[in-house]
Structure 1
Amino acid sequence: MNVPTQLLEAPRQRIGSQEFNTQGEIHFSPQLQARYDKEQQALWLRWKPSPRPCFNPALLRDLRRYCDMVDVSGAELMLNGEKFPIAYSILTSGTPGVFNLGGDLDLFVNLIERRDRDGLQMYGRACIDVLYRNYVSYDLPITTISLVQGECLGGGFECALSSDLIVAERSSRFGFPEILFNLFPGMGAYSFLERKVGQKLTERLISSGQIFSAEEMLSMGVVDVVCEDGQGEAEVAALIRKQSRNRNGLNAMYRARRRVHRLDFSELLDIVNIWVDSALRLTSRDMKLMQKLVSRQNDLGAHQVH
């Protein structure tokens, strides 16, 4: 089980009519598709990882392709011969009850057992490459939104945090279970959270291993909007309508926020290296605990298939 070098080598692509079908959809793979909503001026990106609802290498490769496309788009796309603006990029899941469970723990176990430092670094680098571009909104006038419907754990939580706004359905749950097997979330958690809620709360969320409700996340200032179960997409649509008149000013405010709380890619890369060093120090007991969480990922994946 190797990390494919294609994770970091996918060619940059330009969004065009040859990629989108007449319904405004593009299918990167069975795990990832995007849909453009003309009324909302929004790209909805939806993933459905298999066999487990986590960021496996193939999904990361497809996410890299999506990011490359948005990067070179100039915040607009050609669809059926017409040009349309991209005002919003929305991350969401096609797996019922799960936003994302995070890192590919089965792969981690394999790489750690083989002492494959390069493989761990390549995986971490592929993760932060995707999350950083979402965090900086591709350096374009695009507002990024994460719609969380269900379990949002570990790297899945990091992914949600990389967006300008987080909308969560009420039964969604958030947390970083990595500390339970003596590791920490190394693909942006500390950097994103510390800039949003400060050091003390960041370290509490990372070090406790506790699972938090959407309402708790709202009260802490981590989540921006909580809505009723099943109403997530409608809530995002309502948020977009509410922002439509002031979108330019609000988008500029989000950009200013990122400038005040500046985050360089090099910071994320340094933390990935800390994560790799920490992963390679895990004991056999730690690895057994990680394997238990792999089993839980498998169980959730199998449950959603049926």
Structure 2
Amino acid sequence: MNTIVDFNKYSISNFQQVDTRFDDEYGVMWSYMKPEPRPCFNMTCLNELLQYHNYIQNSQGEIISQGKVQKLNYSVFASSMEGVFNLGGDLTAFRELILAQDRAHLFEYAKLCIESIWILYNMQAPVTTISLVQGQAMGGGFEGALSTHILVAEKSSLMGFPEVLFNLFPGMGALSFLSRKIGMQAAEKMVRSGKIYTGEELYQMGVVDVLAEDGQGEYALNNWIKKNHRSLNSFQAINRAKQRVNPLTVQELYDIVDIWVDAALRLDERNLKVMERLVRAQNQKVGADVVHIQEKQTA
């Protein structure tokens, strides 16, 4: 039996770090991240995203909005922060847990990350998930964007995996999602390089599905929905068939997280100093420090 969810209850007053709105023309539910104090995945933001997407899944495509039962066809994963989608994991928390050699809490955080993106990839409802990247999506932020059925990005948006700069790797789905999209060789090259890519470059590589002009991300996303809405049933069926042909299991993600946690606990003082520089980049909400570190590493 389906649970019809009343989204009027899940407004700004109920979520601290996620805003939502519903467009009834095509049945689009929008979620906007607003993590504090840094634009990264902290525990509160992750828990609220998981709770929100569980509401979406439980709705099975029917919600109550403005006092009426409405059809929910699309769930958009976006950000309310200008110039930033999400800068990834909470590096301050990582550093503290690594210094304390606290495997249990580091794994707890990583497991919550997996749960939060798995539901976007494996949505058990007739709802298409879409990421909208306007600005920077780094590390775990990029992994989150990759987990949805469709990735929309503006041309000058920046995405990449800087983890290799502090001797780690992106462990929350990067290789799993990318290898199924562009092949393992290209996925591994991207993860090992630490390179930051533009939305346009990733579109040419086949990572980004819909490319938007700068400042036109929402327009391009809405235009894609309008253009493809009549064949939504076909799109969703083909997507499920793709997942069956090249299946991804949540156990695969958990196994990789185990590898990631063990690798994180082996980081040394030099690695943690590089991580501190990336924390400054998170605080500044710009990519200047990321680029600076990358240039320094390759000099």
What is the TM-score with the length of structure 1 in the denominator?
A: 0.90
Superposed, which structure 2 residues align to 1:84-233 within 5 Å? 84-136=70-122, 138-233=123-218
Which one-letter code corresponds to 1:104 in the other structure? D
CA distance in 1, matches of 2:194, 2:13: 36
CA distance in 1, matches of 2:204, 2:216: 20
CA distance in 2, matches of 1:120, 1:28: 27
* Residue 293 (structure 2) aligns with: none
CA distance in 1, matches of 2:65, 2:227: 26
Cα contact 1:26–1:35 (8 A) shared by 2: no
* Residue 236 (structure 1) aligns with: 221
* Residue 264 (structure 1) aligns with: 249
* Residue 5 (structure 1) aligns with: none
For the aligned residues, what is the CA RMSD? 1.6
CA distance in 1, matches of 2:193, 2:14: 37
* Residue 267 (structure 2) aligns with: 282
Unaligned stretches of 5+ in structure 2?
289-299
* Residue 45 (structure 1) aligns with: 31
User: 1:81: Cα distance to partner?
Assistant: 3.0
CA distance in 2, matches of 1:268, 1:17: 30
Deviations 1:204-245 (A, max 9, x none): 110001111111101110001111111111111111100111
Which one-letter code corresponds to 1:16 in the other structure? D
What is the aligned counterpart of 1:249 among 224, 234, 239? 234
Query: Percent identity among equivalent residues?
Result: 46
Cα contact 1:28–1:62 (8 A) shared by 2: no
Check 1:143–1:288 CA distance in 2 against 1; reply closer, same or farther (3 A cut): same
* Residue 10 (structure 1) aligns with: none
Task: Tell me the matched-pair count.
Answer: 285
Cα contact 2:203–2:210 (8 A) shared by 1: yes
* Residue 64 (structure 1) aligns with: 50
Which one-letter code corresponds to 1:51 in the other structure? P
Cα contact 2:4–2:64 (8 A) shared by 1: no
Unaligned stretches of 5+ in structure 1?
1-12
User: 1:72: Cα distance to partner?
Assistant: 1.3
CA distance in 1, matches of 2:282, 2:4: 34
Which one-letter code corresponds to 1:249 in the other structure? S
* Residue 6 (structure 2) aligns with: 16
SS of the residue corresponding to residue 266 of structure 1 reads helix
Check 1:204–1:116 CA distance in 2 against 1; reply closer, same or farther (3 A cut): same
| Comparing 248-257 and 74-83, the one that deviates more | 74-83
User: 1:113: Cα distance to partner?
Assistant: 0.6
* Residue 298 (structure 1) aligns with: 283
